[in-house]
Structure 1
């Protein structure tokens, strides 16, 4: 069975120079990443794409995976969950923005922690191939890339931090001739923080007797601090992995970004007057939620266990010998507005029955400084305007949950880069466990959107690089998934199954000159580049159509349709262990 992520096509030549970077089976691989030496190819290139192909059969959880070049994270992905008959997937990623690393020898680390035992039997058999090629008129990538990571490649280990247990902090010295600087953050919740968007207010975690819900609210903020001062924030997209909520949602179409967990960027060019002094400066990444007092008072706080975090600095340089100078940044950074409320209904016997909660957050942030480079003096700025709302309903000791959430924002730098995003999310799930038989059932509905508009020069490929239309000033991607799914486990018969339907529509546009990410887009500002619609029912893609792939030069990632096995339900391993109220079962 082919298991796919719906995404715009990525172009690469079929006959240019290629290099196989990894052929490896991840079986019992916790703490045992794949490690190998990378040598640049003999051919010339200004573009690099990665082809990651995986097969697996048996029983296994979804797993998080991170690829590094030495200590710098290049790609964060996750796995689909296998079946007894086996699955396969391929994802192609443009990693041309890391040319400063690809052009020099590196240690390649690929960390995919997995386990094999009598219950979890599925290894992940992987092949990773790089294609190197040249295309005209590519934006100049960063000259230097410096990681904020644990820097464990010399021990053949992953360089990610586990926050908050291990602080994500590094002291960096940057070249004094840096003229532009962008910081990117890669962060995703795991364990108690995987479904952070469904967590309860801290004042409500003890609502149900003898059952503790997960707390710190459904709001998360990822903060970047430079020398202890706030430099910008990320309000993350709620990724749902392929074992999340109900597995029937995600086969054979995985969740948005499940194969390619995207990074957010913060322009730190206004800091160059401080950072270009030739001294060390401390960069730290913090994860923040909300702690409330039950009376409407709320403050930002650390969160639970745990977030996987790395960061990096992309630096563009002036000629050697130049020294960038500038003023200390001037901040407009009030504390975020946090508003929370809740209400509890009682059972006839006096116990707590259901509760509702509301969480609202709003943040305005900006900073500016005068920076002087070889191009002269300029005003460097970074600003963010962000908004978050979440309405939650909980019942049945926390096993029934409904969450309606919206995260949105506008970001802009003085370089002309602007980004507008909107992440609506709706999930309802109802978990039932029969005490005598331990039979487990889950019914769920989800509807979510990722809508991102980028104008100007990003530190990352925007997707426009694969289309020979243009030129464009920016891009917009909007994708929506909605569906319903169910799961049933019967431990006494060692039997389980999941079924349902998921529909996804993806649109990708190029933006004409004059478009603005922070303003209303006129219809004629957007040029349709790619569109795809897919519908999966009970493990098979029954409708799959696209448009625009013929506009992509070279070879593309071909849309793959799942094969109908004739089964009405997908087979999954039996869920083993008790259901903890308030914690969504993560099913393999």
Structure 2
């Protein structure tokens, strides 16, 4: 696909895809974008048929112009690429006297054979069904917090995993800094974003809670202060993550040949200001939500049966504290919100396929805390958030994660002088450890047939049984705008490390992790000043000095 997105809200690129005339078990996508002028960051979603295959966002360009490229392994979607499909790329953009830059996008695919590959699903079913950017309303305009469909699954399903993509926009873009519903008018008649700084994405099957996602706080390239993200972008900004929920325990119910309701719901927390709180029925506007059901089939003609799932999903523990501080005149000067949430969920059943009867289960355990302090009559805000969790499937897949976040920002606007000043500091991280094979490629695929970096038995079938990705970002930046002229100097540093967990000891601690890749990058005032990379213990690049963003990353 080659397409220029100008005034493109409700006007996606629509094309066709025909499989190549070659044998392949791997597919990678290369997305390259060029832009020059003034523009917001924009959300983009690519579909093959009605299935979302990539959710990304754009950088904010300079007048001189920028270019960026991102590669994505989509081999887990192999069943989509083996037959002709409609290709839809939806990137809503606006061109006017203030926002002048189109986004010129090229999307390419590479097909190849490899001995290292994931086990792709036989069928992928989108939720909502038949609702790509062409066949339904533009998903960038969803005002919804709930989407879903009634779907009939095949009767011979052996394994099924549900994945969720959910992105907050507008009032929900900075959901992690929202205030309690009882405090929205603390600093005047203009309400602050509400429903608390906590979001849970729920999967419901026939009205029963089947699993949850506590989202990673994605910060886009215009987020907090634009100068933080030039040319280093926020974690996951160009490849917005999906999370998986194993729904195999539900197969005895779902393989009866009848229609079943799948619903994705976004909830926050509502409180009455008197100490009582509960999960909300709605949140602000808006979230972009899609789901997929990955299905692995048993032999043709077989029927999956078993016991009714046993679900244990108690209401999460919610602890809220709020305090308003007054100045000497009795005017609200500060607001403190503190919240702690704990959630445990498990589902268990007996599933019978042509291979016999087995016990299958899905378990989640999550904890969340947020301390938020707004001072100077609403001018300065400090947020400290910690999100931690684990998920375990009887299939052998498990994941633990940690998402620490600190943001401090001060914003002063003078409407008479037409000026806006923002200063901010941010520290954030993402630490994910995975055992077994998730739906998505882990990054271990190129290494798993190699024993070059390990000691022990060279005859092991797989070098690694798990992976760990650990990355942190910290930075400070300023923003000053007078009418339509703005500047945003800043400094940002990122450190990333990727490890393999050896098969010889699945319970190995950090000392047993094998470092496969490491990168350290520093950017100052739109300029990359340090870029150090180590691959398999060998330095691939030395420090770069005064390399301009205009020269490319």
User: TM class, shorter-chain normalised?
Assistant: over 0.9
Which residue does 2:279 correspond to in 1?
300
Which residue does 1:269 correspond to in 2?
248
C-alpha contact (below 8 Å) 1:184/1:313 kept by paired residues: yes
Cα deviation per residue 1:471-518 (whole Å; 9 max; x = unaligned)?
Answer: 211111000000111101122xx43100110000000001112666xx
1:342 aligns with one of 314, 322, 331? 322
Which residue does 1:501 correspond to in 2?
491
Which residue does 2:303 correspond to in 1?
323
- Quick one: structure 1 residues 164 and 434, their matched pair in 2 at CA, closer, same or farther if it must change by over 3 Å? closer
Cα deviation per residue 1:180-228 (whole Å; 9 max; x = unaligned)?
Answer: 0000000010010000000001111011122311100000000000000
Question: How far apart, CA to CA, are the structure 2 residues paired with 1:154 and 1:346?
Answer: 49
Which has the bigger relative contact order, CA under 8 A and spacing at least 6? 1
1:98 is the counterpart of 2:77: yes
Paired residues for 1:7-18 under 5 Å: none
Which residue does 2:455 correspond to in 1?
none
In terms of mean alpha carbon deviation, does 507-516 or 440-449 score higher?
507-516
C-alpha contact (below 8 Å) 1:150/1:159 kept by paired residues: no
Q: CA deviation at 1:523?
A: 3.0
Task: Name the Cα RMSD after superposition.
Answer: 2.2
1:364 aligns with one of 344, 350, 362? 344
SS of 1:213 mapped into structure 2: coil
Q: CA deviation at 1:151?
A: 2.0
1:482 aligns with one of 448, 461, 474? 474
SS of 1:473 mapped into structure 2: strand
Which residue does 1:15 correspond to in 2?
none
C-alpha contact (below 8 Å) 1:504/1:535 kept by paired residues: yes
1:511 is the counterpart of 2:501: yes
Cα deviation per residue 1:205-264 (whole Å; 9 max; x = unaligned)?
Answer: 011122311100000000000000000000000000000000000010000000000100
- Quick one: structure 1 residues 159 and 97, their matched pair in 2 at CA, closer, same or farther if it must change by over 3 Å? farther
Paired residues for 1:186-205 under 5 Å: 186-205=165-184
Cα deviation per residue 1:45-102 (whole Å; 9 max; x = unaligned)?
Answer: 0000000000000000000000001110001000000010000000000000001100
Question: How far apart, CA to CA, are the structure 1 residues paired with 2:201 and 2:544?
Answer: 37
C-alpha contact (below 8 Å) 1:58/1:82 kept by paired residues: yes
Question: How far apart, CA to CA, are the structure 2 residues paired with 1:342 and 1:156?
Answer: 45
Question: How far apart, CA to CA, are the structure 1 residues paired with 2:290 and 2:494?
Answer: 30
Which residue does 1:540 correspond to in 2?
527
Paired residues for 1:96-495 under 5 Å: 96-149=75-128, 151-153=130-132, 155=134, 160=139, 165=144, 167-301=146-280, 302-467=282-447, 469=450, 471-491=463-483, 494-495=484-485
C-alpha contact (below 8 Å) 1:35/1:156 kept by paired residues: no
C-alpha contact (below 8 Å) 1:31/1:157 kept by paired residues: no
- Quick one: structure 1 residues 515 and 393, their matched pair in 2 at CA, closer, same or farther if it must change by over 3 Å? farther
Question: How far apart, CA to CA, are the structure 1 residues paired with 2:80 and 2:399?
Answer: 26
Question: How far apart, CA to CA, are the structure 2 residues paired with 1:455 and 1:139?
Answer: 14
Q: CA deviation at 1:309?
A: 0.2
- Quick one: structure 1 residues 515 and 403, their matched pair in 2 at CA, closer, same or farther if it must change by over 3 Å? farther
SS of 1:380 mapped into structure 2: strand
For structure 1, which runs of at least 5 residues remain unmatched after alignment? 1-21, 568-588
* TM-score computed with the length of structure 1 as normaliser: 0.88
C-alpha contact (below 8 Å) 1:213/1:398 kept by paired residues: no
Q: CA deviation at 1:137?
A: 4.0
Question: How far apart, CA to CA, are the structure 2 residues paired with 1:286 and 1:483?
Answer: 33
